[in-house]
Structure 1
Amino acid sequence: MTTTESTAEAITESTAEPATEPTATELPRPSPVRMTPRQSAALVALLAAQFMLAADFSVLNVALPGVGTALGFSAGGLQWIATTFALCAAGCTLVFGRVGDYVGRRRIFVAGMAVLALSSLVGGMADAPTTLLCARALQGLATAAVTPAALALLTTAFTEPALRTRALGLNSVMMSSGFSAGAVLGGLLTDVLSWRWAFFVNVPVALAAILVVPRVVGADPARGTRPHGRIDLPGAVLSTAGLFAGVYGVTRAGEYGFDLPAAVCLIASAVLLGTFWLVESRTADALVPVRVLKKPDVALGNLAALFIFGGETALIFFTGLYVQDVLGLSSLAAGLVLLGIGVGQIIAGALGPRILRRVSPRTLLGLSLTLQGAFMLPVVAAGSDPRWLVPLIATQFVNAFFSMTAALSFMVIVTSSAAVGEQGMATGMATESQQVGMAIGIPLTSALSVAVAGPAVPGVAARLTGIHTAVGVTAVCQLVAGPLIWTALRKAAGKRRRPGARRAA
C-alpha cells in the first residue's frame, strides 16, 4: 500500500468515528522536511552528471552529417556513431548497477566519470572513424556505470519518502530533458563552433563531478553491510550478451529489415536471456534474483519504461525529420522546436512529487502513459505547411509533461520495492529499461516509416506518410499499454492486501 493510499484510508476512518474523534480537517499536518546543505550539494552534483549523460545519447544526432564529412564515414556507417553508444550503454547497465552494490556506488561513479572524461577527449580529437567509434563505445560504458550509480546514490542519500520522491522527480527531469536538450546543444555547437565540441564539453563537467561528488556524497557502506558472496559472473555474461544481441538485432532490422543477421541476433538474444533466467533461479549470489524479477511492481514498472522512453525518443526523432525533411528548416531550428518538450518535462518534474502526494504511483503511471500516447496523435494530422509548427509544439509540450510524470511514477514504483542493499540492482534494472527503450524505439519505428515511405529517397509526401504511420502506431501502443499496465498493477496490489486482511480478521 502506498503512502498516499494509507493517508487517504486514515482520513476516511477518522471521519467515520464519533464527533469526539479528530476530523480530517483537524488532523495535524506534518511539517515539511527540508534538505540539508550537504544533501542539496549532492543533489546538484548528481543531477548535473545525469543531465550530461542523457544529453550524450543524442548530442551528435543532428551533427552526424558534419561528422561523416569530416572523418570520411560511409553513408551506411554513419548510424554506428549512435548505435555503438546505445549498444554499450544498454548492454552493460544492469551489470554495473549490481557491481556498485558490491564494490561501492561512489567508487563506481567516480571511475565511470574518469572514463567519460577520457573518452570525450579522445572523441573530440578523433581523425578517423575507428577512433571515434572507440570513443563512443567508451562513452556508452561510462554511461552504463555512472547512471545507475548516481541514481542509487540518490535513493540512498534521501531515505525520507517526500525527499526521495522530490529527488527522483528532478532526476527524471534531467534524464528526459537531457535527451531533448542534447539535440539542441548538438545543433548549436555544430553551427557555432564544431562537432568536436559536442565531445569536449563533457570534459570539464566530468572533472568537476570527480572533484565534487566525493566531498558531498557519503562514503560507500562498510564492506560488512554490502551484499555477501561473489559477483554472479555467468549471469553478468549472459545478461550483457543477451542485451547486446537484442539491441543490435533490432537496430539492424531498423536499417536493413529483418534479414538473416537480424533474425539470428534476435533468436540468440531470446536464448541467452532465457538461459540467464534459468541460471539466476539456481544461483545463490544471483545478479538479479528471480524473486525480484517476479515482483509485479518490478516487472510491470520496467515494462512500462520501454513504452515511455521508446515512444518519447521516437517522437523526438520524427519531429526532427518532420522539421528538416518536410518543412525544410535547419538542424538548429529542429533543435529549438524540441525545446517545447524540454519545458514540459521540467514543469512536470517540478509538479510530479506534489501530484504523487495525491495520486498513487500506479494510477499516475497508467494515466500518464495513456495520455502520453493520446498527445502523440496530433502529429498524425500534421501537414507540410509551416503553420503546423505551433500546434505541434503545443501538443508535444503536453505529451512531454505526461511522459515525465509516467517516468517519475515508474521510478518510484521500481525503487520502492527494493531493499537498501539492492538499490544498485533496482536502479540498474530501471536504467537498463530506459536505455533499452531509447535504443530500440528509433530503429523499430524508423523501419516502419521506411517501409511505408517506399523509395530510398522518397518525396516530401511519402516521407510525411512514413512519419504519420510510425508516430501513429507508437501512440496506439501507448494507448493500449497504459490501461493494461495500470490494471495489472492494481490486481497485484489487491492480492498483496487480501492475505493481510484475512489475518487481521
Structure 2
Amino acid sequence: MSQTTDRVADQIPEMPASVADAADAADAATAATAVTTTATRAAGRVGNKTALLVIACVAQFMVVLDVSIVNVALPAMRNSLGLSGTGVQWVVNAYALGFAGLLLFGGRAADLFGAKPVFLTGLIGFTAASLAGGMADTGGLLIAARSVQGLAGAVLAPATMTLIMTTFLDPRERTRALGVWSATMAAGGAMGAVVGGMLTQWASWRWVLFVNVPIGAALVLAAVPLIARTRGRGATLRTLDLPGAITVTLGLTGVVYGVVTTDTHSWGSAAVLAPIAAGVALLALFVLIEARSAHALVPLRVFRNRSLAVADLAALLIGAGMFAMWFYVSLYLQQVLGFEALKAGFSFLPGSAMIVAGTMVATRLLGRIGPRPLLLVGPLVAAIGLAWLSRFPADGGYSADVLGPLMLLTFGMGLAMTPLAVAGTAGMPRHEAGLASGLINTSRQVGGAVGLAALSTVATHVAAGHGGGAKASMAAGFGGAMLGAAALLAAAAVVATLLPRRATAAAETK
C-alpha cells in the first residue's frame, strides 16, 4: 500500500509539468500562428499597396499619354480623314477641352461617391471612347470621340491621386508614391510621341487610340477585386452642388473654346470674345454659388491654403508651356526636318529618360529641402532649354539643334512634377484628396489648352512676318512659340517663390 502510495505520489508532480509543457507548446503555436498571420496580412497590405499604385500609375499614364500620342499621328489622320488645318488642331484641343471642363467635378466625385466607382466609371468610359475614336471614319466622329475621351479622363485622372492619398497614409510613403505617380505622368507625355510614332508607322494611326482598349480592359479586371469600396461623403442631389458643377464646367469650356478658336479667328472677333466673356461670367457666378453653398463643389476656404493656391497657379503656367512644346517639337521634326512618324517618335526617348531622372532626383531631395527650391529650379532649367530650342533652323539637324535643349528642358520638367503634386496636396485632409487633385489637374489642362492656342497665334504671326521660304517661315513660327513657352516657365519659377518654405505632403488625417 505504502509503495503504491509512493508511486502515485511520485507521479503527481509530473502531471502539472506535463500540462504546463503542453500549455507552453500551445501558447507557442498560437503565438507563432499569430505572428505568421500578422506577417501575412502585413505582406498582403504591402502587396495590395504596390498593386494599387501600379493600377493608379498605369491609368494616369494612359490618360496623359493620350494628350501627346496623337501629335505624331496628326499628318496621317489628316491624310486619311481629309482634315483641315483647323481640324488637325481640334483633334488635340477636343481632348483638352473635355478634360479641362469636367476636371473639377471629376476631382470632387471621388470624395463624394468613393474612389472605386468613380475610377471604374472613368476607366470604362475612356476605354469605350478610345475604341470609338479608332473606328471613326470622318473627322467629326474622331473629334467627338476625343472629346468624350477627355470627359472620361477628367473623371479618371483625379481618382488615381485619390487612390494614392487614401492608400499611403505615412507621409514618407506618400511622397515616394507621389514621386512614382508624377514620374509616370511626366513620362506619359514624353512617351506619347514614341508610342504614337511606332503605332502610326508599323500599324495605323487608328492604333494610337485602339492601344487603350486592351490596357483599359486589363485595368478594369485588376481593379475590381483590388480596390476596396470606400464610403464617400454621402452625396445626394441636395449635397451634390449641381449648380456649381454646371457653371464651372460650362465656364471653363467657354473660356477654353474661345481661346482655341483663335487659330481661325482674330482675338478681337466676336467668335473669340463671346465664348470667353460667357465663360468668365459663368465662372464669376460659380464663385458666387460656392461662397453661399453649404455643400460647395470647391469650398473657397481651400484657397486659404497658400501652398495649394500657389501650386495651382504654377501648374497653369507649366501646363501652358509644356503642352505647346510637345506639339511644336513634333511638328518641327516632321514638317521641317522631314522625319517619318517612327523616327520623330524615337527622337523623344532621351527626353523621356531625362524626365524620369529629374523625377528621381526630386523625390530624393523633397524630404530634405521641401518642394519650394525644386519648383524654383525645375521651371527655370526648363525655360533655359526652351529658349535654346527656339533657334529651330530650317536646315538644322536633330543632334545639333534638338537633342541638347530637349534633354535639358525635360530634366527641368522632371524636377518640377513631384514637388508640384506635393505642394498641391500639402495640408489637405484625406477626404479632400480628389478636390486637390482636380484643382491641380484643372490648372494644368486649362493652361495647356489656353497656352497651345495662344502660342499658336504667336507662331502664326511670326511665320507670316518672316521673309524666308515656307520651311524657314514655319521654323521661325515654331521658334517664336518656344520663346513664349520659355517665358511661361520662367513665370512659373517666379510664382514658386510664394510657396511656404517647408510645405510637406503630410495631409491631415481627419
Displacement of 1:280 after TM fit? 0.7
Q: Is the aligned partner of 1:462 residue 2:473?
A: yes
* Counterpart position of 2:126: 116
Match of residue 493 from structure 2: 482
Give the Å deviation of 1:467.
2.1
Deviation at 1:216, TM superposition (A): 2.4
Residue 449 of structure 1 corresponds to 459
For 1:353, the equivalent position in structure 2 comes to 363
Deviations for 1:210-249, whole angstroms, at most 9, x for unmatched residues?
Answer: 111232233213666x899601111111110111011111
Change (3 A) 1:77 1:382: closer
Cα distance in 1 for partners of 2:315, 2:197 equals 28
How many angstroms does 1:107 deviate by?
A: 0.6
In 1, Cα distance between the equivalents of 2:187 and 2:134?
A: 24
- Which among 221, 236, 261 is matched to residue 245 of structure 2? 236
Aligned residues: CA RMSD: 2.4
Alignment of 1:247 with 2:266, yes or no, is: no
Alpha-carbon deviation of 1:89?
0.7
| Matched pairs, number | 459
Shift of 1:257: 2.9
> Could you tell me which residue of structure 1 aligns to residue 25 of structure 2?
none
**Conserved? CA contact 1:152–1:427, under 8 Å:** yes
Q: Counterpart in 1 of 2:200? A: 190
Trace 1:144-183 onto structure 2 (pairs within 5 A). Answer: 144-183=154-193
* Rounded Cα–Cα distance in structure 2 between residues aligned with 1:227 and 1:166: 35
Q: TM-score, normalization: structure 1?
A: 0.85
Tell me what 1:426 maps to: 436
> Are the structure 2 counterparts of residues 374 and 421 from structure 1 closer, same or farther at C-alpha, using a change threshold of 3 Å?
same
Separation (CA, whole Å) in 2 of partners of 1:198 and 1:388: 24
In the alignment, residue 247 of structure 1 is paired with which amino acid?
A: V
Pairing partner for 1:205 from 196, 201, 215: 215
Secondary structure, counterpart of 2:86 in structure 1? coil
Question: 1: CA distance between counterparts of 2:491 and 2:82?
Answer: 44
Q: Is the 8 A contact 1:340 1:394 kept in 2?
A: no
Shift of 1:387: 4.2
Question: Secondary structure of 1:287's partner?
Answer: coil
Distance 1:307 1:340 in 2: 24
The answer to whether structure 1 residue 263 and structure 2 residue 273 are counterparts is yes
Q: Deviations over 1:23-55 (max 9, x none)?
A: xxxxxxxxxx99811111111111111111111
Displacement after TM superposition at 1:358 (Å): 2.0
> Per the alignment, do residues 477 and 115 of structure 1 end up closer, same or farther by CA in structure 2, a change over 3 Å counting?
closer
2:21 corresponding residue in structure 1: none
Query: Taking structure 1 as reference, are residues 492 and 185 closer, same or farther at Cα in structure 2, changes over 3 Å only?
Result: closer
Paired residues of 1:123 and 1:135 also in contact (CA < 8 A): yes
Structure 1: state its 5+ residue gaps. Answer: 1-32, 494-505
> CA shift at 1:490, angstroms?
4.0
Deviates more, 1:140-149 or 1:123-132: 123-132
Which position in structure 1 is the counterpart of 2:421?
Answer: 411
Instruction: Return closer, same or farther for 1:492/1:416 CA change in 2, 3 Å cut-off.
Output: closer
- CA 1:159/1:264 → structure 2, altered by over 3 Å: closer, same or farther? same
How far, CA to CA, are the matches of 1:481 and 1:222 in structure 2? 35
- Matching of residue 53 in structure 1 with residue 63 in structure 2: yes
* Partner residue in 2 for 1:81: 91
Q: Distance in 2 between matches of 1:266 and 1:228?
A: 29
| Distance in 1 separating the partners of 2:215 and 2:74 | 23
| One of 41, 54, 62 as aligned partner of 1:44 | 54
How far off its partner does 1:79 sit? 2.5
Shift of 1:110: 0.5
Residue number in structure 2 paired with 1:300: 310
Shift of 1:492: 11
Task: Specify whether residues 146 and 480 from structure 1 end up closer, same or farther in structure 2 by C-alpha distance, changes over 3 A only.
Answer: closer
CA distance, structure 2, for counterparts of residue 421 and residue 71 of structure 1: 45
Tell me the alpha carbon deviations over residues 328-366 of structure 1, each in whole angstroms, 9 at most, x when there is no partner. 222322222222221111112223211102222122212
Provide the C-alpha distance between the structure 1 equivalents of 2:445 and 2:55, rounded to a whole number of angstroms. 22
* Higher alpha-carbon deviation: 103-112 or 451-460: 451-460
Separation (CA, whole Å) in 2 of partners of 1:163 and 1:430: 21
Q: How has the CA–CA distance of structure 1 residues 227 and 350 changed in structure 2, closer, same or farther, with 3 Å as cutoff?
A: farther
**Percent identity (aligned):** 35
CA shift at 1:307, angstroms? 1.6
